[in-house]
Amino acid sequence: MFGFLLRRIAVLIPTFIGVSIIAFSFIRLLPGDPVALLSGERVMSPEQHAAVSHQLGLDRPIVIQYLDYLWGVMRGDFGASIVSKTPIMTQFLDLFPATVELSFCAIIIAVALGIPAGVIAAIKRGTIIDQGMMGVALVGYSMPIFWWGLLLIILFSGILQWFPVSGRISLMFFFEPVTGFMLIDSLLSDQKGAFLSALSHLALPSIVLATIPLAVIARQTRSAMLEVLSEDYVRTARAKGLSPFRVVGLHALRNAMIPVITTIGLQVGVMLAGAILTETIFSWPGIGKWMVDSVFRRDYPVIQGGLLLIAGIIMIVNLIVDLLYGLINPRIRH
């Protein structure tokens, strides 16, 4: 198992370097001058522009800039924001709990609904139940996040007024954050109604973010279950007179979960990518909105650091999924 882990880590190193090269190169193709944006409405002379560029290190050769940046990343230094002068890692750690909370609730919704839907669709293969569930899953997978989010805002926030439009908690509540996770901090605050307020603010963004992963998990579960249900050992279990629940839950679903677990792990990347749109729509103060704001400000260090940190998290999650895959099916390790 240890050798299997080392092989997977060895693959991640060149992948991370490749991501850093792509992020560093593409960001500099964005139109706009960060030095000019820093000046605001003031007109900078060529001498002032050259001095600020030299101070930020933007006048050095691209290769030297990249090597210095890579060396800093290896030491855990992702630089500082051009605009706020705050270290990127500090900003990331402050905002990341909000994105984790949103993504975690979304993946819980996707797994809790997607796996049962896929199992039921596989058992009822060819029936109207199967066709209806897979049709809804296809619609959910095809629906743009920004459009779906706006529809839910119009219906549940505008017309029905069941849920708030934006933010993480009502302005009526104020307390010092302890963990950065609003649901936990609201419980620790002992302020009456704070937890329900945080939960209501989290509901719509979580549903929007969970839509595509839910559809993918449901379709993958159905496909895996159909393949497993046709195996000889499942027919043998049925021939022995085992209950349908035992056949499906103990024998079939356990083996069908191998590709489903891989799919769930891969959806983490989709969550982080979809969180950019979701957080922007609902003004959710996470890393997605932080990245979007940095793009508009041409804040190169923040964009680079954010992309690398997100890519690193996705690679770590995929590594964990690979390890779980190897534990479930020992043949994978060889």
Q: What is the pLDDT of residue 205?
A: 92
Higher pLDDT, 100 or 29: 100
* Residue range 251-270: mean pLDDT, rounded: 78
Residues 106 and 271 sit within 8 Å (Cβ to Cβ): yes
What's the half-sphere exposure (Cβ side, CA atoms, 13 Å) at 134? 19
**pLDDT reading at 329 higher than 70:** no
- What DSSP element (H or E) covers 125? none
**pLDDT reading at 228 higher than 80:** yes
**Residue recorded with tokens 């590709």:** 259
**pLDDT reading at 95 higher than 70:** yes
Burial (CB count within 10 angstroms: exposed 0-12, middle 13-18, buried 19+), residue 261: middle
Query: What is the C-alpha separation between 120 and 219, in angstroms, rounded?
Result: 11
Higher pLDDT, 327 or 10: 10
Largest CA distance in the chain: 86
* 106 CB neighbour count, 10 Å cutoff: 27
- The reported pTM is 0.80
Give all domains of the chain, ordered by start, each with its CATH number: 2-74 (no CATH), 95-333 (1.10.3720.10)
Query: What is the C-alpha separation between 42 and 39, in angstroms, rounded?
Result: 6
* Residue range 203-227: mean pLDDT, rounded: 90
Model confidence over 67-77: pLDDT tens digits? 888 888 888 78
**Residue recorded with tokens 């909000």:** 98
Among 221, 305, 219, 216, residue whose Cα is nearest residue 260: 221
Residue 276 corresponds to which tokens in the numbers above?
């950019």
Q: Band of the pLDDT at 217, cuts 50, 70, 90?
A: very high
Least confident of 13-17, 50-54, 303-307: 50-54
**pLDDT reading at 142 higher than 80:** yes
Q: What is the mean pLDDT of the chain?
A: 81
**25-39, 138-152, 228-242, range with greatest mean pLDDT:** 138-152
Among 101, 75, 78, 73, residue whose Cα is nearest residue 89: 78
